[in-house]
Amino acid sequence: MATAVATDVMIPQPYLVRDVSKETSDTFTLKLAPEAGANGNSFQPGQFSMLWVFGVGELPISISGDPGQHDQLVYTVRSVGQATNALVNQSVGSGVGVRGPFGKGWPVEAARGRDVILVAGGIGLAPLRPVIYEVLHHRKDYGRLVILYGARSPRDLLYRKEMAAWARHRDTQALVTVDYGGMSWRGHVGVVTTLFKYARLKPSNSVAMACGPEIMMRFVARELETHGLSRDDIYLSMERNMKCAVGFCGHCQYGPHFICKDGPVFTYTQMKPLLEKYEL
Amino acid sequence: METLERIIGEHPFFAGLESYYTGLLVGCGANIRFQPGAYIFKEGEEANEFYLIRSGRVALEIAAPQHKPIVIETLSEGDILGWSWLLPPYQWKFNAHAVLDTRAIALDGKCLRTKCEQNHDLGYEVLKRFAQIMERRLEATRLQVLDVYAAR
């Protein structure tokens, strides 16, 4: 029986590309729908899928869509190599294999009744977008929503229109910064940690979730701790080379953890000793 | 009506400063406003003031020959602008211009240096605060030069 379950999770399900939209020069959002027309694509914010481009390879990609929308799965993909390039160049109607969803996601249930602080860098906003949808769909269940987002330049910002719309929601503060701003950019310039001083935080009743380059998360977690959040209330989404996605192959082992199965979301308490080891 | 003493005392940079010292600072301060696009100072000019930003946004920019100026940092409400007034040769190292309509308190650098020399307790309080700002900005700059979002 165990073998049958293991086999099932290793078999990609056929999906069709419903839409491909360009977010930035190298980043695209794909909407996939099951070929069989099923309507049961449930996932937890922060989970990921393995996307199979037939004849090219398989990739772990975080789900970036609305968890309340069950007729499709949405992924935001940065084209940085052969497989991601093939994925973002899929035409509407072409077939893609999907395994998952996998992994332990963001603590959206544990965050109910508390303020939610989201800190994203670059494409790290994509795995956090489902949390934003979840909070906004159940607005009364959560306290303040604070979104701090940093990118390399104004041209690299994801979901710009949505970000502006999120900022207009009640009890929501959305701040955006870029590392390098041109003269026409009227927003903040500086790394994402510089936004903390402008954020209205209530650390004693807040849960923070951060996603972005690992070094950014190191600095962000330290900053959150300096502001008074406990390490158990700071969550980080980690990334390693995931292959099987179910803890069999060991490719994504990080210290004692398998990122695919035990994560990708971990508390800062779990990650702090590992983040400070350069060898890992 | 807001007094200058109250505005200075409530600015995050001077948080926790005894009111006696705030009183000393008032004599060096003045309200000031910059329209969007207005230059507050330019590289090489004499650095006579620093600014407690009350609202708006200021961009620090650096220009290299044959390149457009690059904005390296922005500062907003609650930030301070400028520390070149504190150390010789008292010259600005960057350009600063208002991005948005910006209100600030301008503190006269010479006046403040004189008061800090006369009262070393005040000088220590001011330097402690500047040291903290410098440390934070240095850390942020180090992270910025890593270009962490670049594709690798």
CB under 8 Å to A157, separation ≥6 — which residues?
A24, A149, A151, A163, A176, A178
In this predicted structure, what is the pLDDT of residue A7?
Answer: 53
- Please determine, for residue B127, whether its predicted confidence score (pLDDT) is greater than 90: yes
In this predicted structure, what is the pLDDT of residue A6?
Answer: 46
Q: Which of B62, B29, B103 is nearest to A183 (CA)?
A: B62
Q: How far apart are CA B134 and CA A60, in angstroms?
A: 41
The answer to whether A210 and A120 have CB atoms below 8 angstroms apart is yes
Q: Which residues of chain B are within 8 Å of residue A180 when distances are taken between CB atoms? A: 70-71
Q: From B146, which residue of chain A is nearest by alpha-carbon distance?
A: A215
Digit-coded pLDDT (tens) for B7-51: 999 999 998 999 999 999 999 999 999 999 999 999 999 999 999
The DSSP secondary structure of B126-146, one letter per residue, reads HHHHHHHHHHHHHHHHHHHHT
Q: What is the mean pLDDT of each run of 10 residues along chain A (280 residues)?
A: 58 92 94 81 93 93 94 94 92 93 95 96 96 96 96 94 94 94 89 93 94 92 94 94 87 89 94 83
At B113, which helix (H) or strand (E)?
A: helix B109-118
Inter-chain contact B148–A151, Cβ cutoff 8 Å? no
Of B73, B148, B150, the CB nearest to A189: B73
In this predicted structure, what is the pLDDT of residue A38?
Answer: 67
Of B12, B69, B100, the CB nearest to A183: B69
Residues in a beta bridge with A267: A235
In this predicted structure, what is the pLDDT of residue A239?
Answer: 86
- Please determine, for residue B152, whether its predicted confidence score (pLDDT) is greater than 70: no
Q: From A122, which residue of chain B is nearest by alpha-carbon distance?
A: B149
- Please determine, for residue B1, whether its predicted confidence score (pLDDT) is greater than 60: no
Inter-chain contact A194–B140, Cβ cutoff 8 Å? yes
Q: Which of A86, A23, A18, A79 is nearest to A52 (CA)?
A: A86
Digit-coded pLDDT (tens) for B64-118: 788 888 898 999 999 999 999 999 999 999 999 999 999 999 999 999 999 999 9
Instruction: Confirm whether the ipTM is greater than 0.90.
Output: no
CB under 8 Å to B130, separation ≥6 — which residues?
B83, B86
Q: Which of residues 140 through 159 in chain A touch B, CB cutoff 8 A?
A: 150-152, 156
